[in-house]
Chain A
Amino acid sequence: MATQVTSETADSIADLIRVSVPQRSLGRDLRAVSIVWRRELLRFQADRLRIVSALVQPVLFLLVLGTGLSRLAGRGMPPGLSFSTFIYPGVLSMSVLFTALFSAGSIVWDREFGFLREMLVAPVSRAALVIGKCLGGATVATFQGLVILALAGLVHVPYNPVMFLEVIGELLLLSFTLTAFGVMIAARITQMQAFMALNQMMVMPLFFLSGALYPLNGLPTWLTIVTRFDPLTYVVGPMRHAVFSHLGLSPAAAAATAALDPGVTWGGWKVPDGLSLGLVAVLGVLLLGLAIAEFRKTD
């Protein structure tokens, strides 16, 4: 057989095509990011039950637990501030917590049902696929947060556009980081049950340790330390600050409220909101990088 000859011919074809078609252009990868992102939205839209079910828990926390506990916690609250208002930023972050992790988990479904293979054999970079997925999860989770945001009036939070923008930005950041985390985990997991179990294991500790339900000052040392390792802490703090600064309280009430909004402190030093959110952003990018590396490995 004329192996030599055919290989050479093939080489010359390869050269020809390589010259005319750039192997991987940014435009191609951006198009892939966009379609993976759009698929998340389409699927979210199609799944109304999921939208409703993801609402149940936050609403339960906000209206039932918040109202119920305010009878107990009410005494510690300054006048004009209800317990429901206090936990509102925490509940906002909770609503995106569920949705972001669930969105990332759909990678495990995709693997089980084969669709992941359709993506992995495509001539686009793995980074494009992972970024599209994380952006999709972040968008969908933020949508979910918007629904809770719409309930602001129920807990006496004014519909202030500046506050809304701040909170939405924070929700986007949080949900992107959470989705990246979920995608990194999902890359290693082949069964949905396993992912669900892992999710259950993570969601509650992340939520309870974030200061969503109580102020982070005056805690026992061990709990103070543990809460500082919860990434959610660094979003709940600034978000509470954003909400509280727009409540329109009397100066006296505002001073009293400040004690409930201590922000995140490291050994007495108050971490500025910007740094706090910056840390979350850095973590998000780091996790995204790990997730991409994880998917490159499957080559």
Chain B
Amino acid sequence: MSDAPAVEVRGLVKSYGQVEAVRGIDFEVRPGETFGFLGPNGAGKSTTIKILCTLVNPTAGAARVAGFDVVKKRDLVRQNIGLVFQDTTLDNYLTGEQNLRFHADLYGVPRTQVAPRLKQVLDMVDLWDRRGSVVGTYSGGMKRRLEIARGLLHAPRVLFLDEPTVGLDPQTRSGIWAYINDLKQREDITIFLTTHYMDEAENCDRIAIVDHGKIVVLDTPEALKASVGKDRVQITTADDQTAIAELKSLFGIDDAAVREHQVTFSVTDGEQFVPRLFAELTVPIRSVSVARPSLDDVFMSYTGKTIRDAEASAGDRGRAQMMAFRGGGRR
């Protein structure tokens, strides 16, 4: 049983009229894994999650979650998954505890287990003391934590987190990640999450980078970073254009370009390259920074753009998709 994939996706396609949100995706998530979908807004992450959670039917292809087909065994899939949506789905007029009890009854948590389970999940997210307060009085981070607790209440085998920390301040974000990592210690659970934060993707065992509805590359964060291989060097100079020209003529570096007001390029061994740079470049250098490859560089090397650029260009597609969602009716 533990060998069967927690999530299995084959040739998944979803189109909304003319718009193809997901264009043929294949992957497997192993039980116990934290698996991340990383990509700009409008890349098809949320659509994929909606299909896996039985909220949307695929146009083509198939998907299984916890061993059940998401179209044919909808109820069994729902029984086995926990869901934390991008936007909150709590009842603001009920207390935290009432929200969780509602969920427990709806998901058929055995009555004798409700109270201990409630305590367990509320303790985990540090909300036990606030369980009697009306959710409307909670902060954004507390609501998110309550939703994570709720998603876990019925002991799901797969937890889906759709942009779990979007719109939260950095402190709350890292707090939520601490809970998620803690969760993996305590519960036998597979986590599937989407994010467009690079630093968050680092928490995953494996990442699939998605762009334009397709998986561009899928591997562990370390392997992905190693595949880029090069360090990123950023310099500010008195004359960027001359610097770029000289980097090409003197060192044969042809990927140098101005990004975010700095000349950015990659070399195999950044720290040893810097002394040569000072010795040979004729343009005065004002500052230098060398960085090990980040997932940003990985994204860049596979898609040819930064994730922020990708979001800007995906904006229109995203909007078209939103229209299609609204037109598609209620959910």
- Report A's interface with B, CB cutoff 8 A: 1, 3, 6-7, 9-11, 13-14, 17-18, 21, 23-24, 28, 31-32, 34-35, 39, 42-43, 46-47, 110-111, 113-115, 117-124, 187-188, 190, 297-298
Given A18-B76, A47-B93, A118-B103, A13 contacting B329 (CB threshold 8 A): no
Q: Which of B105-140 contact A (CB under 8 A)?
A: 105-108, 134
CB pair B108 A117 closer than 8 Å: no
**A35 and B68 contact, CB distance less than 8 A:** no
B5 lies within 8 A of chain A by Cβ: yes
Which B residues are CB-close (under 8 A) to A190? 330
Bound CA span A3–B120, Å = 37
Known: A46-B134, A121-B78. 15 other contacts (CB 8 A): A1-B28, A9-B3, A10-B68, A13-B1, A32-B105, A35-B106, A42-B98, A43-B93, A113-B88, A117-B55, A117-B85, A117-B331, A121-B54, A122-B78, A298-B329
B10 at the interface (CB under 8 A from A): yes
- Taken together as a complex, chains A and B put the C-alpha atoms of A117 and B106 apart, in Å, by 12
- The reply to whether the CB of B23 lies closer than 8 angstroms to some CB of chain A is no
Can you give 27 A-B contacts (C-beta < 8 A)? A1-B28, A3-B10, A6-B8, A6-B28, A10-B4, A10-B64, A10-B68, A14-B68, A17-B67, A17-B76, A18-B76, A24-B75, A28-B108, A35-B101, A35-B102, A35-B106, A110-B91, A115-B89, A117-B55, A118-B90, A118-B106, A123-B106, A124-B106, A187-B330, A188-B330, A190-B330, A297-B329
CB distance from B150 to the nearest CB of A (A): 8
Q: Which residues of A contact B54 (CB under 8 A)?
A: 121
Q: How far is the CA of A214 from the CA of B97 in the complex (A)?
A: 49
Q: Which of B5, B55, B83, B91 has the most CB of A within 10 A?
A: B91
A115 CA / B85 CA spacing, docked (Å): 11
B94 on interface, CB distance cutoff 8 Å: yes
Q: Are A123 and B78 in contact (CB under 8 A)?
A: yes
Please, which residues of chain A bring their CB within 8 A of the CB of B91? 39, 43, 110, 113, 115
Docked complex: B1-58 residues within 8 A CB-CB of A: 1, 3-5, 8, 10, 28, 53-55
Query: Are A114 and B106 in touch, CB under 8 angstroms?
Result: no
Find chain A residues with CB under 8 A from B94 CB.
Answer: 39, 42-43, 46
Provided the pairs A6-B4, A10-B8, A118-B103 are in contact, do residues A111 and B330 lie with their beta carbons within 8 angstroms? Answer: yes
Shortest CB distance B129–A (Å): 21
Chain B 267-300 per-residue mask, 1 if CB under 8 angstroms from chain A, else 0: 0000000000000000000000000000000000
B75 touches which of A23, A43, A115, A117 (Cβ 8 Å): A23
- Which residues from chain A contact B89 at a C-beta distance below 8 Å? 113-115, 117-118
Residue with the greatest number of chain A CB neighbours at <10 A, chosen from B89, B98, B331: B89
Closest CB-CB distance, B163 to chain A, in whole Å?
Answer: 14
Q: Is the beta-carbon distance between B73 and A14 smaller than 8 angstroms?
A: yes
What's the least CB distance linking B111 to chain A, in Å? 9
Task: Determine how close the nearest CB of chain A comes to the CB of B296; give it in whole angstroms.
Answer: 30
CB distance from A112 to the nearest CB of B (A): 11
Q: Is the CB of A7 within 8 A of B106?
A: no
Chain B contacts of A1 at CB under 8 A?
28
* A114 and B88 contact, CB distance less than 8 A: yes
Residues on A with beta carbons closer than 8 Å to the beta carbon of B134: 46
Minimum distance in angstroms from B331 CB to a CB of chain A: 6
Task: Say yes or no for B301: interface residue by CB 8 A criterion.
Answer: no
- Contact in complex: A115, B90 (CB < 8 Å): yes
B331 near A6 with CB under 8 A, answer no
Contacts of A14 in B (CB 8 A): 67-68, 73, 76
B329's nearest neighbour on chain A, judged by CB, is: A298
Residues of B within 8 A of A32 (CB): 105-106
Question: Is there a chain A Cβ closer than 8 Å to B87's Cβ?
Answer: yes
